[in-house]
Structure 1
């Protein structure tokens, strides 16, 4: 890599494209803020804040000049666009525990050790799942912030910039692996749920499929659609940083739009169409009704069960 020919950015950012993507993120952020304040779901604030940070990152790109790059602006847009999606992953991690509380009418009854309470659908205590994966998310986020600092502070110091690229690569690989493990955990949960409900015949109405009621099915589809989009973005970022600063992906902005921005817009956009709190309440209600019906058929006394949200407030 020649120091004299080195360019921190290899193209003139497309103003219209960045404004459109930034605008979409901003609209999604406003929608999420509306849902959060309407439904008093403060636990989900990471979602609109992450979308707002991404919007800022793309708006800042409009001010970048390839011939006279502002290092400060470059660092801001780089960290906001690459690192802020950690907030989207954190939302899915926290949503998992609430999903468990909704589908498992017995969850939340252990007052002695609420943090370590287990569910028959999750081989890891749901509250521990959120904490473990969110801490992994924070760790990878800090790695990417440090890498962004190296890229910005390197100036024309090629070795420091290459080190920043490698640190970014480590961060996105670790983030992708953690989310892959989370997706595997979610899959096990859904397999157990499908197996149990099909065996019990609780979905007699036929409104869902595979033994799942329509609201549980919606939530499962939302999880998997969001996860697929996140996976596409993760693979793109891994390949990009593996190629280095002279690679094909980093040299053409169209890949940033198609393989990073679009998948993430869709990954969180599914929750704008299917806001989880209302769906979770319906799932919890149907799970309680199903449990009570099963108890009456089997001659057992029905349980008094907590709501999906209150069971995770501790």
Structure 2
């Protein structure tokens, strides 16, 4: 690797890192309390994802305090945690949709039956996670430009897998929503809980994760010398803010407000 290689091409903002550390900590504690109170085990990956985000920004704060003599461990840790956190958030989003479909007894309205839906998308999520974590691990230990490129390529593949599966997921959600509106089930009509509002929140969370993933693809395609990695503002606008908004949205409209049937809590996660 070139002697001119630096961990950050800017001085990381301590204030921004602390603000988002606190923000994710607050939403994470809220989700942990909500999940514990309601018994919604399917939110466990979501909570772990928030923990990744919280620790990731805490490590960025550590890096900011080390400026300009950054050490590798905090840099590598924050890079990996912030890269992988959204994959865990996505896993719970997939599970929520499957449970909404079962709640309204809308199996026949979904292009993919709930029994398969969660398994398919979580499998894609795991595949994406493995590629990204593998690439991130290679980058963290890279000492040559070829290793850096290999790590970046693996991350890009993982992000593309995430985008493809998320795109299909959003399409499935939209088709189900249209069909259940056109041909509602007796259960969907009679339910007093705001299941449709939760579905709309899933759209929002999905769109935020999608935009963030597209940003990350562009970032890694540009590489370490690109403008996206050269300016810290982008990670806070297109990653931190979007993910925090998605987490807060599901605090406000928590799945437990809708999925009150304990059978939907006790069933297997996937």
TM-score of the aligned structures, taking structure 2 as reference length: 0.91
Q: Is the 8 A contact 1:101 1:312 kept in 2?
A: no
CA drift of 1:203 comes to: 5.6
Return the match for 2:182 from 182, 195, 202: 195
Greater C-alpha radius of gyration: 1
Aligned position for 1:141: 129
Deviations along 1:98-140, one digit per CA (max 9) or x if unpaired, are 1011111xx7xxxxxxxxxxx2122322122111211211111
Q: Residues 76 and 313 from structure 1, CA distance in 2 versus in 1: closer, same or farther, beyond 3 angstroms? A: closer
Q: Is the 8 A contact 1:280 1:308 kept in 2?
A: yes
C-alpha separation in 2, matches of 1:309 and 1:45: 12
Deviations along 1:31-78, one digit per CA (max 9) or x if unpaired, are 011011111112211111110111001100112245433222222111
Which ranges of 4 or more aligned residues in structure 1 deviate by more than 2 Å? 65-69, 306-314
Aligned position for 1:291: none
Aligned position for 1:52: 51
Q: Residues 312 and 164 from structure 1, CA distance in 2 versus in 1: closer, same or farther, beyond 3 angstroms? A: closer
C-alpha separation in 2, matches of 1:307 and 1:84: 28
**Residue ranges of structure 2 left out of the alignment (5+ in a row):** none
Q: Kindly indicate which of the two structures has a greater share of residues assigned to helix.
A: 2
Q: Residues 37 and 311 from structure 1, CA distance in 2 versus in 1: closer, same or farther, beyond 3 angstroms? A: closer
**Residue ranges of structure 1 left out of the alignment (5+ in a row):** 108-118, 205-211, 285-305
Q: Residues 45 and 313 from structure 1, CA distance in 2 versus in 1: closer, same or farther, beyond 3 angstroms? A: closer
Q: Is the 8 A contact 2:212 2:239 kept in 1?
A: yes
Q: How many residues were matched structurally?
A: 267
CA drift of 1:269 comes to: 1.4
Pairing 1:42–2:29 present: no
Return the match for 1:124 from 112, 116, 119: 112
Structural RMSD (CA):
2.3
